[in-house]
Structure 1
Amino acid sequence: MSNFWIILGHTYFSKLKTKSFIITTLITMLIVAGLTNMTRIIDFFNKGEGSEERIAVIDETGLLINPLKEQMKANNSDIQLEAFNGSEKDAENAVKLDEYKGLLILSNNQEGLPEAAYKARSIADSSLPSELQHYLQQIKTGLAASKINLSQEQLSKLYEPVSFSKFALEENAKTEEELNQARGLVYVLLFIIYFAVILYANMIAMEVATEKSSRVMEILISSVAPVKQMFAKIIGIALLSLTQMGIILAVGIYFVKRNMESMQGGFFEFFGFSDIPTSTIIYALVFFLLGYLLYATLAAFLGSLVSRIEDVQQMIMPMTLLVVAGFMISMFGLGQPDTSFMTIASFIPFFTPMLMFMRVGMLTLPVWEPLLGIAILIITIVILAIFGAKVYKGGVLMYGKSNSFKDIKKALQLTKNE
């Protein structure tokens, strides 16, 4: 058993000290810190930029600029409209010299209703002209209504959205608000599971292939049982991943607490981060760990089949495609989590970590369904471990050019001959 802990400790600490681990952790921490401080960053860069939102206006009607200003003021818009007294050519030159953000030309069409043209140095930014168009549309609607003698009350009734309520008949079913929060939360956690499984499973395959290419594996395999060696590496990388995610999570929590006031409502509340159910966190951890063990075991014995590090990505490509397929299906399932296809697919072991978690987060499932999914994952991991250990033992002794999955048969034959 001591050999197991030696390999586990060596795998963990050797990876922990690598430049790639330190650099990726620091970069991810900076990204998390940036995202959680996004409101402050935007406010910082927006200081003193009010002049950049100045819009020169040539009102050919002489009647539209004031109602437009009132509309924008009522909606607390940051855009400043300024009447331009010169010619259109002079206004265009002023825009080119960055004196104005853009030029708005107001006129009436043949029916006497507003129309406009917007000119700027670049129209890549669609938000500002879209906002101007929205306010002009409101003015046009009011003018059109007055032409056909519609009162403001009648106009409001015309555009009032239809009342449409949704009610779930199943007992303990989630409300629409709860579903919106669950959808956002599950969406984010699915991304974490997806990227973590991809990243750390690849790391295991690379670890095995690297040691094999240095012929260290021949010494290890003679002194340590294949199962011990394989799981020592898997658990070592798992501890490394938990260390990295723990550091990143701590940074995220620290900055979220510091910016809690600016995060109230809006994005933060919509995505369900203001009230995360304990059961969702527990299921996320369980399915993350089981999904990791499933794909890590698969990656370990696939990595043992290659003799060169360059062949690792090609060998584990089918495994990567399985993870991607599970992720894409779960993304589709966020809109239709209760379909028969999603139910059946959630019990397929390679899709269970993401699909079952998605269904648990979105639906009120009977307890036996997630428990059955967990049991299927554990059984699959055990079967993969037994089969993988045999392939691993023979695979690490194979050298030369890899022939994809034909090498599995050769690895099993080498194991039998041992």
Structure 2
Amino acid sequence: MSKFWIVLSHTYMTRFKTKSFLITNIIALLVIVGLANINSIIDLFDSEKDRQVAVLDETGDIFAPLKESVENTASDVTLEQYEGTAEEAKQAVEEEEYEAFLSISYGEQNLPQASYYANQIASSELSNTLEQQLQQIKVAMATNNAGIDQSQLEEIYQPVAFEAVALKESAKTEEELSEARGLVYIILFLLYISVITYGNMIAMDIANEKTSRVMEILISSASPVSQMFAKILGIALLGLTQVGLFIVVGYIVLQQKQSEMTGGVFEYFGLSGVTASTFIYGIVFFVLGYLLYATLAAMLGSLVSRIEDVQQLMMPMIFLVMIAFFIAMFGLNMPESSFVTVTSYIPFFTPMLMFLRVGMLDIPAWEVALSIVIMLASIALLAALGARVYRGGVLMYGKASSLKDFKKALQLSKKS
């Protein structure tokens, strides 16, 4: 057992000390701090930037209401009535005296129309703002010309009263579904990224040891099976260290911004209504999903003796993760679909799809228990098969070009 812990600690510390791991974490932590202070960063660059728009109002009636509505909508936009000609205004824009130039005139049925001029129109934010506010003025003028009272117009455009009510008392409300959908999406995305990242890390670690011939020393001192599970758990601890670091830094940043929160961290992120059981299921399916795919990654990595061949043999696993993720994205809007229900019992899809159903629906406890049993059985079966393949695979050298190497690895495992 001591050899197991030696391999585990070696796997953990070797990866932890790599420059790529340290640089990646530093960048990720900077991103977390940056996202938490994104408003301050934007204000830092835009605090002194006031976008001025020259307006040539040929109607004589529209500039005043347009200026008021635009500046109420976008505080960094200032409309200035231009007294010169259109050509002079365009020249002023080219010389960057103004951000843009807006020419307003009357068109058909005596309703306003406009032309927008700017040096670059790739960014449509400013033009869209001006267009939307001008559209509101046009609607008001058109309804006034048609003799429609403003209060009647507001009643016409008022959204219809529509309430979705679940007949089952245990079913989630619309608000609870919205909160659960956010948590489910976060867990699905984390599982997707974690499986691909740490699965590749396991396979690369094994391939690297085979390339450097370290594997020949390891298998003489510890059993291949012990090595496989030591590497799986070592990378898992590395992932927990990484995630834990992100959580601690994120918590510290949020504590510093506590004045901007109205009801704590969970309410700040819209997760205050999510039940504790949903969080527990998220952790359970996350761990089971990692163990399943990590065992598969270790098995595939043992077939590779060159680092450049890792991605080729890892593609089947990556495709499985991608398929599960895409089905889950489809299922966010249709969690009760028969297709989602059936595929949620397929072991490689269960971590994402069953958690999706648990988070979004009120499903019987036996379904969740059955999916967990299926997952545990699949992990045990894959571990037994993976142990045999790993035992033979670590002795294989040369180019691994296809999954046919499984048979060769199994044959070698019987001889070792």
TM bucket normalised to smaller = over 0.9
C-alpha contact (below 8 Å) 1:180/1:271 kept by paired residues: no
CA shift, 1:214, in A, is: 1.6
Give the letter aligned to residue 211 of structure 2.
S
Instruction: Name the counterpart of 1:17.
Output: 17
User: Runs of 5+ in structure 1 lacking a partner?
Assistant: none
- Choose the corresponding residue for 1:155, options 153, 156, 161: 153
Give the letter aligned to residue 348 of structure 1.
I
Instruction: Name the counterpart of 1:96.
Output: 94
CA shift, 1:393, in A, is: 0.6
C-alpha contact (below 8 Å) 1:185/1:271 kept by paired residues: no
Counterparts of 2:232 and 2:28, CA distance in 1: 23
Give the letter aligned to residue 14 of structure 1.
T
Instruction: Name the counterpart of 1:327.
Output: 325
RMSD: 1.8
How do residues 301-340 of structure 1 correspond to structure 2 at under 5 angstroms?
301-340=299-338
Pairs aligned (count) = 415
| Deviation digits for residues 342-378 of structure 1 (CA, Å, limit 9, x no counterpart) | 1111111101111111111112222222222222111
C-alpha contact (below 8 Å) 1:185/1:272 kept by paired residues: no
Counterparts of 1:59 and 1:138, CA distance in 2: 17
How do residues 156-235 of structure 1 correspond to structure 2 at under 5 angstroms?
156-235=154-233
| Deviation digits for residues 209-241 of structure 1 (CA, Å, limit 9, x no counterpart) | 111112221222233222211000100010000
C-alpha contact (below 8 Å) 2:99/2:118 kept by paired residues: yes
Counterparts of 2:73 and 2:221, CA distance in 1: 74
298-307 or 256-265: which moved more? Answer: 256-265
Counterparts of 1:270 and 1:89, CA distance in 2: 51
Instruction: Name the counterpart of 2:115.
Output: 117
CA shift, 1:257, in A, is: 2.4
How do residues 243-262 of structure 1 correspond to structure 2 at under 5 angstroms?
243-262=241-260
CA shift, 1:280, in A, is: 2.5
C-alpha contact (below 8 Å) 1:58/1:106 kept by paired residues: yes
Counterparts of 1:105 and 1:271, CA distance in 2: 43
C-alpha contact (below 8 Å) 1:180/1:270 kept by paired residues: no
Counterparts of 1:320 and 1:76, CA distance in 2: 45
CA shift, 1:399, in A, is: 0.9
Give the letter aligned to residue 36 of structure 2.
T
CA shift in 2, pair 1:229/1:197, >3 Å: same
CA shift in 2, pair 1:4/1:157, >3 Å: same
Instruction: Name the counterpart of 1:36.
Output: 36
CA shift, 1:270, in A, is: 8.6
Give the letter aligned to residue 7 of structure 1.
V
Instruction: Name the counterpart of 1:58.
Output: 56
CA shift, 1:77, in A, is: 4.4
Q: TM-score, normalised by structure 1?
A: 0.95
CA shift in 2, pair 1:27/1:274, >3 Å: farther
| Deviation digits for residues 316-345 of structure 1 (CA, Å, limit 9, x no counterpart) | 110011011111111111111111111111
C-alpha contact (below 8 Å) 2:16/2:238 kept by paired residues: yes
User: Runs of 5+ in structure 2 lacking a partner?
Assistant: none
Counterparts of 1:402 and 1:73, CA distance in 2: 65
Give the letter aligned to residue 286 of structure 2.
F
- Choose the corresponding residue for 1:291, options 289, 292, 311: 289
C-alpha contact (below 8 Å) 1:183/1:271 kept by paired residues: no
Q: Is 1:402 aligned to residue 400 of structure 2?
A: yes
Q: TM-score, normalised by structure 2?
A: 0.95
CA shift, 1:263, in A, is: 5.6
